[in-house]
């Protein structure tokens, strides 16, 4: 156990699900509509967030518009878990926000294709507002950059399990495996209590499980025991590392 507050954060419908581990080891779950509210409650904590942070552009990376950490994460996870790693959008796409989802998707794909030769997936488009939230806060508050880390739940579960999980998180088997690992870490009663805390919020059980996996990585980061992918990451045009911790 670490003596610092650690928080695992996952995007979910309507906002963010957070699992907070207090300095005494107790866990609390909460839903917040805005990322700024996630951070405001515990600014000195270590945050492990399942969301792209450092963003590529035409002038960075071995492949223009592609992050090395995404390539390496897919390689480590292997198929089929590799499909859970969505390509981070190029930074230029953050300014696309007309309010028309279809029009924005067309424009985002046009710009992305011009840089990387790839269009923007629906999944990436869906999380673009969340990416914009995180990036906006990190640009406004550079002092938070050493406390907010990008993670990926499937990489966290890979480290917990010793190998990539075979079943997807939405399958009955996959959910049972993830709950089993997390129950070993925190106890079944704690998981039940956390699930009761998110009832009535837009967050789903799978979001809570992902946030708990993120929390595990936050603890490792706080202890200095985490792995950084890649080991020597590049930084984007604003100085943010293009890396995933686990």
Q: How far apart are CA 191 and CA 183, in angstroms?
A: 7
Look at strands 228-229 and 244-245 and give their pairing. antiparallel
Q: Which stretch of 11-20, 28-37, 89-98, 185-194 has the lowest confidence by average pLDDT?
A: 89-98
Residue % of the chain over a pLDDT of 70: 97
- Averaged pLDDT, 88-96: 89
pLDDT of the residue at 64: 65
Mean pLDDT of the chain: 92
Q: Which stretch of 118-127, 163-172, 185-194 has the lowest confidence by average pLDDT?
A: 118-127
State both tokens at 61: 């990376």
- φ/ψ of residue 8, rounded to 5: -95, 135
In SS3 terms, 78-129 reads as CCCHHHHCCCCCCHHHHHCCCCCHHHHHHHHHHHHHHHHCCCCCHHHHHHHH
- Averaged pLDDT, 39-48: 93
pTM, 2 dp: 0.94
Local structure of 187: helix, strand or coil: coil
Q: Is 51 exposed, middle or buried (0-12, 13-18, 19+ CB in 10 A)?
A: buried
Beta carbons of 202 and 208 less than 8 angstroms apart? no
pLDDT of the residue at 167: 94
CA 206, 82, 227, 116 dihedral sign is: negative
- Averaged pLDDT, 189-216: 96
Q: Which stretch of 8-17, 82-91, 154-163 has the lowest confidence by average pLDDT?
A: 82-91
pLDDT band, residue 175 (cuts 50/70/90): very high
Beta carbons of 47 and 239 less than 8 angstroms apart? no
pLDDT at residue 62 tops 80: no
pLDDT of the residue at 164: 96
Residue % of the chain over a pLDDT of 90: 76
State both tokens at 33: 């509509």
């Amino acid at each position: 156990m670490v003596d610092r507050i650690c928080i695992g954060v996952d995007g979910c419908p309507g906002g963010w699900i957070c699992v907070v581990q207090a300095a005494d080891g107790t866990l609390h779950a909460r839903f917040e509509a805005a990322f700024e509210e996630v951070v405001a409650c515990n600014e000195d904590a270590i945050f492990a967030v399942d969301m792209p942070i450092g963003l590529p552009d035409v002038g960075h990376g071995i492949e223009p518009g592609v992050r090395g950490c995404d390539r390496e994460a897919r390689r480590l996870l292997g198929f089929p878990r590799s499909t859970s790693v969505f390509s981070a959008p190029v930074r230029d796409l953050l300014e696309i926000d007309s309010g028309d989802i279809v029009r924005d998707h067309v424009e985002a794909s046009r710009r992305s294709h011009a840089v990387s030769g790839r269009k923007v997936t629906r999944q990436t488009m869906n999380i673009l507002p969340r990416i914009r939230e995180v990036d906006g806060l990190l640009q406004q508050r550079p002092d938070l950059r050493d406390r907010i880390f990008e993670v990926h739940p499937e990489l966290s579960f890979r480290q917990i399990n010793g190998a990539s999980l075979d079943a997807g998180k939405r399958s009955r088997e996959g959910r049972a495996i993830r709950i089993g690992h997390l129950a070993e870490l925190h106890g079944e009663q704690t998981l039940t209590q956390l699930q009761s805390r998110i009832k009535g919020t837009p967050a789903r059980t799978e979001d809570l499980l992902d946030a708990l996996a993120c929390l595990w990585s936050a603890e490792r980061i706080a202890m200095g025991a985490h792995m950084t992918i890649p080991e020597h990451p590049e930084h984007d045009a604003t100085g943010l590392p293009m890396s995933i911790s686990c």
